[in-house]
């Protein structure tokens, strides 16, 4: 068992160390390519920081662990939504909803809620007909994600919503000094992309370590797969989102941080489709524990609250410089975990 614990910790440390650098590379690449921070956060950060979770869900499904695979994906979405509250605490300039580019963020949230609802419906009706051995929902998830990318890009280019900031605040488009900007502009996009791929590969390898050790711990200790999946593996594999989001917020790149978290959540729904592909027994949706359905509902509720508060444009911070949405998200997450474990 100690070998599995050591590998689990090693994977988490690799993710923790490489996360901040990945955040900086994603921001530089987004500027070099000419895409917005929200879209850059979703594609460049969301995809790469989701690599550990993707590998975990695929590998555990390949090993016949349906509940472990799906609970890792959905638990990761719930945990990463909590990281928005953490980013709010780090920023401490008032409610986070005052700072984000709302048009793209709202579209990201709407697509995420659609995908999570689709997953929940597939779990409720798991015995549907299959296509090449896969549940129809798996194909729908993949199509919806790619269509969603296009819709998010359109929202970024032609925004219908505009960020409203507190009086006296200045817009922080790029807080880096002149020499830092000169260094960034002198780097070739190809060089940035090469380093980006290298760090993403390290993070992906760390995800495999967590998957391997997590399955070993379940087998040796008899711990509930839902407990290991939604807490240990999900949180460990979500460390990149936490580290990169906090790092981006500290630099004033709030839209990049939110795009990273919500974009990572959108990518995490694809983990379930990949798990269905790797799970050869039957469609994976029908072999999960009932608690996974409840966890999916919790993730939908948390992101619904976030979307409502972004639309409302919360201005009150209860005197703590932390938005009301952060308190609500934390309360829902903690309450949900208590109900599942009770």
- The SS3 assignment for 134 reads strand
Per-residue pLDDT reduced to its tens digit, 236-249:
777 767 777 777 77
Q: What is the largest CA-CA distance in the chain?
A: 60
User: Are 53 and 237 a contacting pair, CB within 8 Å?
Assistant: yes
Per-residue pLDDT reduced to its tens digit, 167-220:
444 444 444 444 554 444 554 567 777 887 888 788 777 777 776 776 666 666
Report the C-alpha gap between 258 and 248 in whole angstroms.
9
Q: Whole-prediction pTM value?
A: 0.76
Report the C-alpha gap between 197 and 202 in whole angstroms.
9
- The SS3 assignment for 238 reads coil
Q: What is the mean pLDDT of the chain?
A: 75
Sign of CA dihedral 260, 137, 203, 199: negative
Per-residue pLDDT reduced to its tens digit, 243-274:
777 777 776 666 667 767 787 788 888 889 98
Report the C-alpha gap between 275 and 52 in whole angstroms.
14
Q: Which of 55-69, 156-170, 295-309 has the lowest mean pLDDT?
A: 156-170
Task: Identify the structural domains of the chain with CATH numbers, from first to last.
Answer: 2-159+176-341 (1.20.1420.30)
């Amino acid at each position: 068992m100690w070998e599995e614990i050591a590998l689990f910790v090693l994977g988490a440390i690799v993710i923790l160390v490489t996360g901040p650098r990945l955040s900086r590379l994603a921001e530089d690449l987004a500027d070099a390519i000419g895409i917005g921070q929200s879209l850059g956060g979703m594609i460049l950060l969301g995809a790469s920081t989701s690599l550990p979770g993707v590998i975990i869900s695929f590998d555990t499904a390949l090993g016949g662990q349906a509940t472990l695979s799906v609970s890792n994906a959905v638990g990761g979405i719930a945990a990463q939504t909590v990281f928005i509250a953490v980013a709010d605490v780090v920023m401490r300039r008032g409610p986070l909803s005052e700072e984000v580019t709302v048009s793209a963020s709202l579209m990201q949230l709407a697509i995420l809620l659609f995908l999570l609802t689709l997953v929940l419906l597939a779990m409720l009706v798991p015995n549907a007909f299959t296509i090449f051995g896969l549940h129809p929902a798996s194909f729908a998830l993949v199509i919806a994600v790619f269509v969603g990318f296009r819709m998010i890009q359109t929202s970024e280019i032609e925004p219908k919503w505009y960020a409203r900031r507190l009086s006296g605040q200045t817009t922080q488009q790029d807080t880096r000094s002149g020499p830092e900007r000169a260094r960034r502009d002198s780097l070739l996009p190809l060089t940035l992309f090469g380093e980006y791929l290298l760090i993403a590969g390290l993070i992906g390898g760390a995800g495999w370590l967590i998957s391997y050790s997590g399955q070993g711990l379940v087998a040796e200790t008899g711990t509930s797969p839902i407990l290991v999946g939604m807490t240990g593996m999900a949180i460990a594999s979500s460390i990149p989102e936490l580290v990169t989001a906090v790092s981006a917020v500290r630099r004033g790149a709030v839209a990049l941080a939110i795009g990273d978290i919500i974009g990572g959540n959108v990518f995490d729904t694809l983990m379930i489709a990949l798990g269905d592909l790797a799970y050869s027994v039957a469609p994976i949706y029908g072999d999960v524990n009932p608690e996974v359905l409840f966890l999916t509902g919790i993730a939908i509720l948390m992101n619904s609250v976030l979307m409502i508060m972004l639309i409302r444009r919360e201005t009150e911070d209860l005197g703590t410089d932390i938005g009301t949405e952060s308190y609500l998200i934390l309360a829902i997450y903690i309450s949900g975990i208590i109900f599942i474990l009770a």
